[in-house]
Amino acid sequence: MSKQKYKYVCQQCSYEASRWLGKCPECGAWNSLVEETIEKKTVAGIQKNGGVRPEPLAQIKPLGVERLDLGMAEFNRVLGGGLVPGTVVLLAGDPGIGKSTLLLQSASYAAQKLNKVFYISGEESAQQIKMRAARVGLDNSNLWLWSETDLDAIEAEIRESLPSLVIVDSIQTIYSAELNSGPGSVSQIREGTTRLLNLAKTLNIPVIIVGHVTKDGMIAGPRVLEHMVDTVLYFEGERHYQYRILRAIKNRFGSTFELGVFEMKNEGLTEVTNPSQAFLAERPLFSPGSVVAACMEGSRPLLVEIQALVSQSSFGQPRRMTTGTDNNRVNLIMAVLEKRVGLNLNFQDAYVNIVGGIKILEPALDLSIALAIASSLKNTPCLSGLAVMGEIGLTGEIRGVPYVYKRLQEAKKLGFKCCLLPAGNVEEKVSGLELLEVKTVREAIDAALA
Ligand code: TYD
Ligand code: MG
């Protein structure tokens, strides 16, 4: 018998070493190397393709792909118009955010048109999934539930029954007995993904796998997974808010700009077709510190409320807290407000929040943050019916933003009367919407906090 060989694999970054080390030389993580048996050679991914030779681009016939409809338009759009057969999609997100719910609902919808959909769960028993299905009102005979974690059994069953869609919840729970390391280790995740990928490509079955996210927001077994699959989706949101956002981080079959908005209700996830309206639903009118920003998320305009609270600090060092956007950006905007507008924020605590638990990092948000802070400091509400957009430069100038027309249209659609925007940024006017063009933050504050 040949001597068994071991290697040591970092569970954070999949760095491999021949001996154990306390600290990973690649990513610097401590105590992250775990002993694993050297894997058997998998030839997955390197398929012999029957002697196909290089061809000129012009002669290659386009693939006539028929995408699979997953029921909710928000989900389909993020995928680039539905699920492409033979591809592997990774759905990642925090525990409890609703990944299993989303996939169960989509699988059930797809099963109405397909002959067999497999929902394989390594986390819940078939009875538990059934309970969830009953809760969200699903009942479908073409949806097959299977509580299984053994990769070999899963592979054999898929080859035998040839389902039209496979969902694996989650990649961290399935394991191959051929490898020595435990479920969730980098080698197991790599092996599981490779084999599912191979199944998807050879049998032309779409596979959606769920991936857990570690505490610092990375997919566990990180880059290994992201590189291998065709599409990476993140499902995110604050657990205490009902809104959930689905984003594409990588998509070989569509744009990564799209975003889907869902709402978690008692009877499961529903899509939010008009997110701006939802995000503005509870907005207080005529309140100091509240400003509506016209943002873009990918190719989609989104109106959100920015709130700021500025109050006298009782500590030497004032507190600055931000939720939903970049704290450094907020600090920079406050520095500009101090230096270029002369607002005295030195001894003030400042809290900035994007309402609805969503995250927006677009620079066009700058001006609305500045206005919200100024409005709270002066205790003066913003003009009513005003939507704001504009990036702020270090000299206090307002810089142009892209997609102005789309933003204006969205503001009009939601009943806003006027828009504050960078001077010279308008390509095309929207009738019925008054435009206030400004060049500097000072001008903007004068115009909006009249
Ligand atoms: P789940 O899909 O299990 O999350 P994940 O698979 O990402 O871990 O969703 C879990 C949460 O969603 C749970 O805390 C309860 C809530 N939920 C609802 O509010 N309504 C529902 O209809 C369902 C099924 C779950
Ligand atoms: Mg789950």
375-388 pLDDT, tens digit per residue, is 999 999 999 899 99
- Using the mean position of ligand 1's atoms as its centre, give its distance from the Cα of residue 358 in Å: 18
**Domain span at 13:** 6-37
Q: Does residue 126 share a domain with residue 168?
A: yes
Q: Is the CB of 267 under 6 A from ligand 1?
A: yes
Q: Does residue 141 share a domain with residue 96?
A: yes
Whether residue 289 is annotated as binding a ligand: the answer is no
Read off the pLDDT of residues 209-239 as tens digits, 9 standing for 90 and up: 999 886 665 555 556 788 889 999 999 887 7
Determine the atom of ligand 1 nearest the C-alpha atom of 136.
22
Query: Residue 221 has what pLDDT?
Result: 55
Query: Residue 1 has what pLDDT?
Result: 44
- Using the mean position of ligand 2's atoms as its centre, give its distance from the Cα of residue 101 in Å: 7
Q: Does residue 299 share a domain with residue 340?
A: yes
Long-range contacts of 313-319 (CB under 8 A, 24+ apart): 313/347, 313/348, 313/349, 318/345, 318/346, 318/347, 318/348, 318/349, 318/350, 319/349, 319/350, 319/351
Judge whether 432 lies within some domain: yes
Q: Is the CB of 240 under 6 A from ligand 1?
A: no
Q: Is residue 235 within 8 Å of 211, Cβ to Cβ? A: no
Helix (H, G, I), strand (E, B) or coil at 123: coil
Query: Residue 240 has what pLDDT?
Result: 76
What are the residues whose beta carbons fall under 8 Å from the beta carbon of 334, sequence distance 6 or more?
Answer: 320, 345, 350, 373
Whether residue 158 is annotated as binding a ligand: the answer is no
- Using the mean position of ligand 1's atoms as its centre, give its distance from the Cα of residue 98 in Å: 5
Q: Is residue 442 within 8 Å of 343, Cβ to Cβ? A: no
The distance from CA 192 to its chain's CA centroid, rounded to whole angstroms, is: 23
Which amino acid is located at 326 in the chain?
Answer: D
Whether residue 260 is annotated as binding a ligand: the answer is no
Q: What is the pTM of this model?
A: 0.79
Examine the pLDDT at 22 and tell me if it is beyond 80.
Answer: yes
Judge whether 329 lies within some domain: yes
Judge whether 50 lies within some domain: no
* β-bridge pairing 398-399 and 391-392: antiparallel
Report the residue among 210, 212, 264 best suited for mutation to probe ligand 1: largest number of ligand atoms under 8 A from its CB. 264
Residue written as token pair 């500025």: 310
DSSP assignment of 200-222, as one string? HHHHT--EEEEEEB-TTSPBSSH
Q: Tell me, what CATH number does 179's domain have?
A: 3.40.50.300
Judge whether 183 lies within some domain: yes
Read off the pLDDT of residues 257-308 as tens digits, 9 standing for 90 and up: 778 899 999 889 999 988 888 888 888 888 999 999 999 987 788 999 999 9
Residue 385 φ/ψ, nearest 5 degrees: 70, 25
Which residues neighbour ligand 2 (ion) by CB within 5 Å? 100
Q: Does residue 411 share a domain with residue 263?
A: no
Whether residue 97 is annotated as binding a ligand: the answer is yes
Total tally of structural domains belonging to the chain: 3
The residue whose CA has the least distance to atom 2 of ligand 1 is: 98
